[in-house]
Structure 1
Amino acid sequence: MTTKQISRPKSKLWMAAIKPPMYSVAIMPIWVGSAVAFTEKRVFNLTIFATFLAAAILILAWENISNDVFDAETGIDINKHHSLVNLTGKKTLVFWLGNFCLIAGLLGILAIATWQNDPTVIIIILLSCALGYMYQGPPFRLGYQGLGEIICFFAFGPLAVSAGYYSQTPTWSISSLAASVIVGIVTSLILFCSHFHQVKDDIAAGKRSPIVRLGTAKGAKLLTWFTASIYPLTLLFVLLGFFPIWTLLSWLSLPYAFKLCRHVQHNHNQPEKVSNCKFIAVAIHFWSCLLLGLGFVIAGV
């Protein structure tokens, strides 16, 4: 596996380091929260929405960049040739680049709070950032204790979706909270999938990821239940009246869910084959969240 990674063109390593598809993780909570606000309150401020998206992307860039720095300190990324630290060989520069992204992103959120004359949104995002730091940053490194998926659920689910909703209204909503459960689960799914191919490196670095704790076979079975849960939950929220029926459009992401579960079941213990499963999970995240939000928008038109 290491030889293949070294032989990859530098441009592909840079693209893998930047992770463009992963930024849907930052975009979709704001999209879904804003879509719920549009349906319930008939409001949509494009300036706030665009500012929030840009800020969310910058903040996620900080988290990804700083995670490379923190992982370099523990040695867990020694075989990860698309780590920004390994690519540049300049850990301090990468660290400050990440901090620049964080500051720029928080300034965008501060602008929204100033326009609203209400600090609630920036308080929520600061809490989300604190969770993001605790995931990998010293002395916490909660991701190394197998708590990353729980942190991911709250940071990108209830906190981020609620912030997206509040930035438009500014009020709270049960429907927004229900939607945040769906977004939180599919976001955590991406992180869960990222562990299958790096079990040996995780064990060597003392990282007790869920897959290290469970083993790849049990992890693959849990993944199936984890993935499948979002579809009956969406239907339940429709039946309870929290979601409009149009949100069942999110079920159109089912082909990706089947593809992910089959792929991991067949290849869970083969790192080279299973390493791409997180990108299938990204596709589930993108399409389920996009269509969930679209369902709210259609219902609100």
Structure 2
Amino acid sequence: MTTKSVAPSNSANKLWFAAIKPPMYSVAVMPVWVGTAVAFAETRAINTAIFITYLLASIFILAWMNLSNDVFDSETGIDANKHHSLVNLTGDKSLIFWLGNAFLALGILGSSAIAWWQKDFTLLAIVLVGCALGYTYQGPPFRLGYQGVGEIICFICFGPLAVSAAYYSQTQSWSSTSLTASIIIGITTSLILFCSHFHQVKDDLAAGKRSPIVRLGTARGAQLIPWFCGFIYALTLLFTLLGLFPIQTLLIFASLPFAIQLTRHVQAYHNQPDKVSNCKFIAVALHFWSGLLFGLGFVL
């Protein structure tokens, strides 16, 4: 692997696209969509202004997480070979740090606005807990992602916390169905992070990052992919049979081709960084379509 700061084979546009990561923002959208869909299924009502405000707040907070992670990773040297790091592209770590903080402020401002409208600051408290937990993923002195627990943090932040917060923003109450639905979203979100490690084992090892793939090896990690995917569909079916989910949520099975594609791709190329590197985008597609169809089941 090269240690140059610029990859000549990649165009500037491709590098910037990879740095900004537009497809990854479905990670912020799907929890809000599913939590709101469950609220609609139970109340047959939706507050559009709150939905849009909280959706934008979630996107801003994810932007903060992405930017701050680039900053924190630049400090450990793990991104030395990551040509699409925003810090590497701009050469200005301070700029990216404060831009990230600006997005965080916007996200908290949006959540605060909802809390003010509703005269209930529970939503804001959930958001702040999620932000604090998200900081521990890469932020010093915690850097828990370097200890291999990033997937657990991801599951909690984008599963139970995010989906429950979206539900609460609409109903100002709690729901066992919303909490159960958050498990599905939490798994698919954590799967994206899990898949992002396959192509960077050497860099992770050099920086002392003990990601799950570093600990397990790429072959054993690849063997876990069908289990992760299987849980998504098995749990949906189980909770539907138990009456927690409406039968329409079985629409999620239409996303099964993405799960099959992801499983086959990772198992075929798990030890070939150049070929396996795009598996996280297949995982994003699985996350998006499974979440969209799952939430649509509640709406219908």
Instruction: Give the TM-score of the pair, scaled to structure 2.
Output: 0.98
The equivalent of 2:254 in structure 1 is: 252
- For these two proteins, the number of residue pairs brought into alignment is 298
The equivalent of 1:74 in structure 2 is: 76
Query: How many Å apart are 1:6 and its aligned residue?
Result: 3.2
Note the alpha carbon deviations across 1:116-146, whole angstroms, 9 max, x for none: 1101101001111111100000000000000
1:139 aligns with 2:141: yes
CA distance in 1, matches of 2:201, 2:226: 19
Which of 256, 263, 266 aligns to 2:265? It is: 263
The equivalent of 2:291 in structure 1 is: 289
Note the alpha carbon deviations across 1:28-71, whole angstroms, 9 max, x for none: 00000000000011220000000011111000000000000000
The equivalent of 2:42 in structure 1 is: 40
1:80-99 equivalences under 5 Å are 80-99=82-101
CA distance in 2, matches of 1:111, 1:144: 35
CA distance in 2, matches of 1:280, 1:71: 24
**Residue type of the partner of 1:85?**
V
**Residue type of the partner of 2:122?**
T
Query: How many Å apart are 1:5 and its aligned residue?
Result: 3.7
**Contact 1:6–1:81, Cα closer than 8 Å, also in 2:** no
The equivalent of 2:102 in structure 1 is: 100
CA distance in 1, matches of 2:243, 2:120: 30
**Residue type of the partner of 2:115?**
A
For the residue of structure 1 that corresponds to 2:172, the secondary structure is coil
CA distance in 2, matches of 1:183, 1:193: 16
Which of 268, 273, 278 aligns to 1:276? It is: 278
**Contact 1:43–1:169, Cα closer than 8 Å, also in 2:** no
Note the alpha carbon deviations across 1:140-191, whole angstroms, 9 max, x for none: 0000000000000000000000000000001100110110000000000000
CA distance in 2, matches of 1:129, 1:5: 33
1:150-169 equivalences under 5 Å are 150-169=152-171
CA distance in 2, matches of 1:6, 1:102: 33
Instruction: Give the TM-score of the pair, scaled to structure 1.
Output: 0.98
CA distance in 2, matches of 1:105, 1:155: 15
**Residue type of the partner of 1:160?**
A
CA distance in 2, matches of 1:42, 1:104: 30
Query: How many Å apart are 1:257 and its aligned residue?
Result: 0.2
**Residue type of the partner of 1:30?**
V
For the residue of structure 2 that corresponds to 1:269, the secondary structure is coil
The equivalent of 1:148 in structure 2 is: 150
**Contact 1:135–1:151, Cα closer than 8 Å, also in 2:** yes
Note the alpha carbon deviations across 1:72-108, whole angstroms, 9 max, x for none: 0000000000000000000001100000000011100
The equivalent of 2:197 in structure 1 is: 195
In structure 1, stretches of 5+ residues that fail to align are none
CA distance in 1, matches of 2:9, 2:188: 33
Query: How many Å apart are 1:12 and its aligned residue?
Result: 0.8
CA distance in 2, matches of 1:230, 1:54: 27
**Contact 1:175–1:242, Cα closer than 8 Å, also in 2:** yes
CA distance in 2, matches of 1:241, 1:33: 18
For the residue of structure 1 that corresponds to 2:8, the secondary structure is helix
1:51-70 equivalences under 5 Å are 51-70=53-72
CA distance in 1, matches of 2:126, 2:150: 19
Aligned Cα root-mean-square deviation (Å)? 1.0
Identity of aligned residues (%): 71
